[in-house]
Amino acid sequence: MINNKPYVIILLKRDTLMFKKKLELIFLTTIILAVLVLAYNYYNSYTFKHNNIPNSYKKRIFLKEQEVLDNMQKNYNIRIKFPLIVTDKFKGRLYGLTSYDKGNIKIYLNKKVMKESLDYMINSVIAHEYAHALMFQRGYIHETREGHSKEWQKTCINLGGEDCRQYVNQKEIIMSKIPFR
């Protein structure tokens, strides 16, 4: 009986050791997985920042633009495709802006906020900016100071914008050359 005792202790020790090894392995695996996830996220945001927008984004923008153009055709009997430029040169957190320079109308979308707000960009911003562009095109230049007028709101809704609130922020209508290229 007494002889058995050391055995038990050895066995226990062995078990403890194996448990420790297991714990170490689990710990290591967790760390490796975490590092991989981090690296993957970093890679994704890096490629997003330094490359063109993904094709899936382009497709959604294209489809929404077609919808806006169809609505324009239906409600205003014209179909003007304005240049729609995705850029990361925005200074602030604006979603988009419309510029008017000697009759040239361009729409810019902010790439920097696109990833986190893609649905809003698609459902609201494109029609919002297109409404500004169409207002310019139709000669509502004098409304610049009051860019989000009742007429603008009507246009935004007619073009298929989901959120056509009359914002007070006027900074996204630019009446000259754009401050970036």
Under the rule (CB under 5 A), what is the footprint of Zn ion?
Answer: 172
Minimum CB distance to Zn ion, residue 91 (Å): 17
Residue closer to Zn ion by CB (options 111, 148) is: 148
Mapped onto helix, strand or coil, the DSSP state of residue 88 is coil
**What would you measure as the largest C-alpha separation in the chain, in angstroms?**
104
Q: How far apart are CA 48 and CA 38, in angstroms?
A: 15
Q: Which residue is nearest to Zn ion (CB)?
A: 172
Between 15 and 83, CB nearer to Zn ion: 83
Q: Rounded to an integer, what distance in angstroms lies between the CA atom of residue 18 and that of residue 93? A: 54
What is the nearest approach in angstroms of Zn ion to the Cβ of residue 147? Answer: 6
CA angle centred on 22, ends 8 and 42, rounded to 5°: 165
- Please say which residue, 65 or 172, places its beta carbon nearer to Zn ion: 172
Least distance in angstroms from the C-beta of 144 to Zn ion: 11
CB of 179 to Zn ion, least distance (A): 17
Residue with tokens 């304005």: 82
